[in-house]
Structure 1
Amino acid sequence: MEKEKLQSFCMTLPGTTHDYQVDWQADRYHVGGKMFAMLGGDSEGKPIITLKCEPNRSEELRETYKSIIPGYYMNKTHWNSVYIDSNLPFDLLENLILHSYNLVFEKLTKKAQKQIIAK
């Protein structure tokens, strides 16, 4: 899976903003000022994408796929990290990114949601 494809997909979601966290050497993607995805590396520098996930689904995904682990440097209950160089289908990764985006979007105020949708 190509990092550029993941970055492009993240940026297609309404209201998405991007920044680069120098200390973590990671690209971060936000909606309404809240992060929903982070592209960086693990302690060995292997590329990962970290995504918010509903807790029950997190457990299920980790049990099903070896390349999905508890969120690296994040709350392990609500975040998963996925090794980008794994053989997961790209549509699964898109689905996980969208799931993360929706979880964050739904927590925004109604006013913020309307502003994002209106753009």
Structure 2
Amino acid sequence: MKTNIIEYCLQKKGATQEYPFGPEPLVIKIKDKMFALIFENIEKHTIINLKCDPVIADNLREQYENVRPGYHMNKKHWNSIALDGSVPEPDLFAMIDHSYLLVVKTLSKSLQNSILEN
């Protein structure tokens, strides 16, 4: 599942991967702004942190046991999701899409237009 998630993130237009903190975590960015962070926690479970609208974040945390406030992140705007199969992959992809678009919307209008053009 982890490989599918990484590949999906990197298929986003302009997405790049970096390891700015050492061998972990994997940080996936758009124009130097992070939209996904993938790491293993102390129990060796793979976790992905994704940016999220606060209202949607609360709803997802209520809906899924393994969606929690962002680990080492702003807990209002980030979720940590365990990649253990408890959240269906299509739902994870939708969360990644949401995170990506939230970050794209923080970019300049010209960058937004160049990224969102088909």
Both proteins in one fold, TM over 0.5: yes
Partner of 1:116: 115
Secondary structure of 2:105's counterpart equals helix
Secondary structure of 1:76's counterpart equals coil
- Aligned-pair identity (%): 36
Give the superposition deviation at 1:14.
Answer: 0.7
Conservation of the 8 A alpha-carbon contact between 1:24 and 1:40: no
> Which structure 2 residue ranges, 5 or more long, are not aligned?
none
Conservation of the 8 A alpha-carbon contact between 1:37 and 1:49: yes
Give the superposition deviation at 1:22.
Answer: 3.8
Alignment of 1:32-47 (within 5 A): 32-47=31-46
Give the superposition deviation at 1:18.
Answer: 0.7
Distance 2:23 2:49 in 1: 13
> Which structure 1 residue ranges, 5 or more long, are not aligned?
none
Partner of 2:103: 104
Give the superposition deviation at 1:118.
Answer: 6.1
Quick check: 1:12 aligned with 2:11? Answer: yes
Q: Structure 1 residues 29, 113: CA separation in 2 closer, same or farther (over 3 Å shift)?
A: same
- The amino acid that maps onto 2:39 is G
- The amino acid that maps onto 1:61 is L
Structure-2-length-normalised TM-score: 0.91
